[in-house]
A = this chain, B = another copy of it.
Amino acid sequence: MNQDYIQPNEWSIIEEGFDKQRVKSSESLFSIGNGAMGQRANFEETYTGKTFQGSYIGGVYYPDKTRVGWWKNGYPEYFAKVINAPNWIGINVEINGEALDLNTCKEVRNFRRELNMKEGWYQRSFEATLQNGTEIALESTRILHIEEDELGIINFEITPLNRDAEIVFMPYLDGGITNEDSNWDDKFWDTLSVQEGNHQAFIRSRTMKTHFDVCTYMQSKVFVNGAEKSLDYTGAIKELSVALTYKVSVKKGEKATLQKFAGYTISLNHKPEDLIDASIKVLQKATKEGYSALKQQQTEAWASIWEMADIAIKGDVKAQQGIRFNIFQLNQTYLGKDARLNIGPKGFTGEKYGGSTYWDTEAYCIPFYMATKDQAVARNLLTYRYNHLQKAIENAQKLGFKNGAALYPMVTMNGEECHNEWEITFEEIHRNGAIAFAIYNYERFTGDTSYIPEKGLEVLIGIARFWEQRATFSKAKNKYVILGVTGPNEYENNVNNNWYTNYVAKWCLEYAASEVEKVKKSNPEDFKRIEAKTKISGQEVLDWNKTASNMYFPYSEEFGIYLQQDGFLDKELITVANLDRSNRPINQKWSWDRILRSPYIKQADTLQGFYFFEEHFSKEQLEKHFDFYEPFTVHESSLSPCVHSIQAAKLDRMEQAYTFYLRTSRLDLDDYNKEVEEGCHITSMAGTWMSIVEGFGGMRVREGKLHFEPKIPEQWDQYSFKVNFRGQILKVSISKNKQVFKVDGDSPLNIVVNQKEITLAPNTETTV
Report Cα–Cα, A767/B589, bound state, in Å.
65
B494 near A399: Cβ-Cβ < 8 Å: no
Chain B residues within an 8 Å CB radius of A627: none
User: Does A68 belong to the interface (CB within 8 Å)?
Assistant: yes
Among the 9-residue stretches A326-334, A420-428, A643-651, the one with 4 or more Cβ atoms under 8 Å from chain B is A420-428
Given known contacts A69-B68, A496-B567, is B472 in contact with A399 (CB within 8 Å)? no
Q: Using a CB-CB cutoff of 8 Å, which residues 53-112 of chain A contact chain B?
A: 66-70, 72-74
* Shortest CB distance A564–B (Å): 13
Report Cα–Cα, A472/B566, bound state, in Å.
17
A69 near B72: Cβ-Cβ < 8 Å: no
Binary interface profile of A, 392-415, with partner B (CB < 8 Å = 1, else 0)?
000000111000000000000000
User: Does A615 belong to the interface (CB within 8 Å)?
Assistant: no
Given known contacts A66-B69, A472-B597, is B400 in contact with A591 (CB within 8 Å)? yes
A475 near B569: Cβ-Cβ < 8 Å: yes
B588 near A73: Cβ-Cβ < 8 Å: yes
Given known contacts A472-B597, A496-B567, A572-B472, is B66 in contact with A591 (CB within 8 Å)? no
Residue of B nearest to A473 (CB): B572
Report Cα–Cα, A436/B426, bound state, in Å.
36
Q: Using a CB-CB cutoff of 8 Å, which residues 582-601 of chain A contact chain B?
A: 587-594, 596-597
Chain B residues within an 8 Å CB radius of A14: none
Chain B residues within an 8 Å CB radius of A420: 69-70
A594 near B399: Cβ-Cβ < 8 Å: yes
Given known contacts A587-B73, A591-B426, A593-B427, is B474 in contact with A570 (CB within 8 Å)? yes
* Shortest CB distance A177–B (Å): 23
Binary interface profile of A, 490-507, with partner B (CB < 8 Å = 1, else 0)?
000111110000000000
User: Does A253 belong to the interface (CB within 8 Å)?
Assistant: no
Interface size class of A (residues with CB under 8 A): 35 or more
Residue of B nearest to A496 (CB): B567
B399 near A496: Cβ-Cβ < 8 Å: no
User: Does A573 belong to the interface (CB within 8 Å)?
Assistant: yes
Residue of B nearest to A571 (CB): B483
User: Does A476 belong to the interface (CB within 8 Å)?
Assistant: yes
A593 near B69: Cβ-Cβ < 8 Å: no
Residue of B nearest to A587 (CB): B73
User: Does A378 belong to the interface (CB within 8 Å)?
Assistant: no
Chain B residues within an 8 Å CB radius of A74: 591-593
Q: Using a CB-CB cutoff of 8 Å, which residues 24-71 of chain A contact chain B?
A: 66-70
B72 near A591: Cβ-Cβ < 8 Å: yes
Chain B residues within an 8 Å CB radius of A566: 566-567, 570
Report Cα–Cα, A591/B494, bound state, in Å.
14
User: Does A13 belong to the interface (CB within 8 Å)?
Assistant: no
Partner of A69, one of B67, B399, B558, B589: B67
Q: Using a CB-CB cutoff of 8 Å, which residues 613-633 of chain A contact chain B?
A: none
A422 near B69: Cβ-Cβ < 8 Å: no
Given known contacts A472-B572, A567-B496, A573-B475, is B426 in contact with A593 (CB within 8 Å)? yes
A400 near B590: Cβ-Cβ < 8 Å: yes
Q: In the complex this chain forms, how many copies of it are found?
A: 2
Chain B residues within an 8 Å CB radius of A427: 593
Chain B residues within an 8 Å CB radius of A153: none
Chain B residues within an 8 Å CB radius of A426: 591-594
Report Cα–Cα, A588/B400, bound state, in Å.
12
User: Does A311 belong to the interface (CB within 8 Å)?
Assistant: no
Chain B residues within an 8 Å CB radius of A570: 474, 476-477, 481, 483, 496-497, 566
By CB atoms of chain B within 10 A, which of A70, A398, A495, A558 has the most?
A: A70
Binary interface profile of A, 537-579, with partner B (CB < 8 Å = 1, else 0)?
0000000000000000000001000000011011111000000
Residue of B nearest to A68 (CB): B69
Chain B residues within an 8 Å CB radius of A477: 570
* Shortest CB distance A644–B (Å): 25
User: Does A609 belong to the interface (CB within 8 Å)?
Assistant: no
User: Does A176 belong to the interface (CB within 8 Å)?
Assistant: no
Chain B residues within an 8 Å CB radius of A73: 587-592
B496 near A494: Cβ-Cβ < 8 Å: no
B422 near A593: Cβ-Cβ < 8 Å: yes
User: Does A704 belong to the interface (CB within 8 Å)?
Assistant: no
Residue of B nearest to A588 (CB): B73
User: Does A484 belong to the interface (CB within 8 Å)?
Assistant: yes
Chain B residues within an 8 Å CB radius of A590: 73, 400
Chain B residues within an 8 Å CB radius of A496: 567, 570
Report Cα–Cα, A707/B46, bound state, in Å.
82
Residue of B nearest to A596 (CB): B484
A494 near B569: Cβ-Cβ < 8 Å: no
Chain B residues within an 8 Å CB radius of A481: 570
B571 near A472: Cβ-Cβ < 8 Å: yes
* Shortest CB distance A492–B (Å): 9
By CB atoms of chain B within 10 A, which of A68, A473, A570, A597 has the most?
A: A570
Report Cα–Cα, A174/B352, bound state, in Å.
43
Chain B residues within an 8 Å CB radius of A474: 569-571
Chain B residues within an 8 Å CB radius of A473: 572
* Shortest CB distance A40–B (Å): 23
Chain B residues within an 8 Å CB radius of A593: 74, 399, 422, 426-427, 484
A399 near B567: Cβ-Cβ < 8 Å: no
Chain B residues within an 8 Å CB radius of A476: 558, 569-570
* Shortest CB distance A630–B (Å): 20
B472 near A592: Cβ-Cβ < 8 Å: no
Residue of B nearest to A70 (CB): B421
Q: Which residues of A contact B (CB under 8 A)?
A: 66-70, 72-74, 398-400, 420-422, 426-427, 472-477, 481, 483-484, 493-497, 558, 566-567, 569-573, 587-594, 596-597
Starting from the known contacts A483-B596, A494-B494, 14 additional A-B residue pairs (CB-CB under 8 Å) come to A70-B421, A73-B591, A73-B592, A74-B592, A398-B591, A422-B593, A426-B591, A426-B593, A475-B573, A476-B569, A483-B571, A483-B597, A566-B567, A566-B570
A-B contact pairs, 17 of them (CB 8 A): A67-B67, A68-B68, A70-B421, A73-B589, A73-B591, A73-B592, A400-B591, A422-B591, A426-B591, A426-B594, A474-B571, A476-B570, A477-B570, A483-B597, A484-B593, A494-B495, A567-B567
3 closest residue pairs by CB, A with B = A74-B591, A426-B593, A484-B597
